[in-house]
Amino acid sequence: MSAEPTTAPSPADGPAGRAVDVSVVVPCLNVVGVVEEQLAALAAQDYDGTFEVVLADNGSTDGLADHVPGWAQRYGLDLRHVDASAVRGVSHARNAGLRAARADLVAVCDADDVVVPGWLRALTDAARDADLVAGTMDVVTPNDAVRREWRPGPTPGQLQTRFGFLPFAMGCNVAVRRDVALAVGGWDESYVAGGDDVDFSWRVQLAGHRIALAEDAVVRYRYRTDLRGTARQFRDYARNEARLLAQYREHGAVAPDGVSRADLKWLLRHCYHVLQGPGRRGRWVCRAARLHGREQGRRRYLRGA
């Protein structure tokens, strides 16, 4: 079930301060020592309008809030700290930032990624004709060849889709009209470890709003560096994909086959990859984890389908 509509004051009635054209929300959790690269990249944007940066703190224990005044001065940013600790999870942090935003257009990026020059300008240009805008990913620059072999990047130059259904914007690189996001209930906080951005994008479109691609709104997206964590991520993604299918099947999402004999044969035929280099080993482990998650999700959400 989708999240209930999120109530919040309008930007004009919201936090004190001058009006801004865009609010950039950055979900944060213990990112001191990491987030400054992102703040520097935001400070270097060539956007002609005004924007604020909202650090939505999901319960950091590293003294994040104490650093905000110094960062604001160092990078010349309109920078605010917002307490988003009531519920653990990136969706709650995004929603807290959304409610605190002073602008009608809200952009979201992650604390451990880096936006490229022109990112904000490209998002705002695309938002002139759309209510939801998807940016694109550079997975080559920040990741070594081994990690890139574990997980292929998104197809450049086009919106991503799932299950032959509607496109979606990744939660780490998106812009949305604040009133539209609030009207559909924000990001569903019951989605944990994947699926939240797809669900949000689909609800926005099913409510009659348009999505667009901003190809030049690029984020340098960092993969996880450990294989165990990456495999867990793949398992969770696949499990939540089954939930998405159960939720949106009546709207036209088409379920792929479950774990097939061909999938199992591939794993058996290529199990020797586990004994090879870290790239091939990781690719095999991640594929196995994804199939495991798909089967878990099918049993939990799609039994009898």
End-to-end Cα separation, the chain, in angstroms: 18
The model's confidence at residue 18, banded by pLDDT at 50, 70 and 90, is: low
The DSSP secondary-structure symbol of 208 reads T
The model's confidence at residue 10, banded by pLDDT at 50, 70 and 90, is: very low
Backbone angles phi, psi at 88, to 5 degrees: -75, 135
* Cβ atoms within 10 Å of 9's Cβ, excluding its own: 10
* Cβ atoms within 10 Å of 21's Cβ, excluding its own: 16
Per-residue pLDDT tens digits for 144-157:
999 999 988 888 88
> Which region among 83-97, 102-116, 255-269, 275-289 has the lowest average model confidence (pLDDT)?
255-269
Q: How far apart are CA 225 and CA 32, in angstroms?
A: 19
What proportion of the chain, given as a percentage, has pLDDT over 90? 76
Q: Please say if the pLDDT value at position 16 is more than 60.
A: no
Q: Please say if the pLDDT value at position 280 is more than 70.
A: yes
For residue 44 the two structure tokens come to 């270097």
Per-residue pLDDT tens digits for 182-212:
999 999 999 998 999 999 999 999 999 999 9
> How big is the chain by its Cα radius of gyration, in Å?
20
Is domain 20-220 annotated with CATH 3.90.550.10? yes
The DSSP secondary-structure symbol of 5 reads P
pLDDT of amino acid 262: 82
Q: From its phi and psi, is residue 45 left (phi > 0), alpha (psi between -120 and 50) or beta? A: beta
Per-residue pLDDT tens digits for 99-140:
999 999 999 999 999 999 999 999 999 999 999 999 999 999
More confident residue, 5 or 272: 272
Q: 3-class SS at 84?
A: coil
* Single-letter amino acid code for the residue at 237: Y
SS (H, E, C) 222-277: CCCCCHHHHHHHHHHHHHHHHHHHHHHHHHCCCCCCCCCHHHHHHHHHCHHHHHCC
Q: Are 271 and 214 in contact (CB under 8 A)?
A: no
Average pLDDT, the chain: 91
For residue 258 the two structure tokens come to 């479950």
Give CA 87 to chain center in angstroms: 17
Mean pLDDT of 229-242: 93
| CA separation, residue 142 to residues 28, 88, 223, 225, 232 (Å) | 19, 27, 8, 11, 21
The model's confidence at residue 256, banded by pLDDT at 50, 70 and 90, is: low
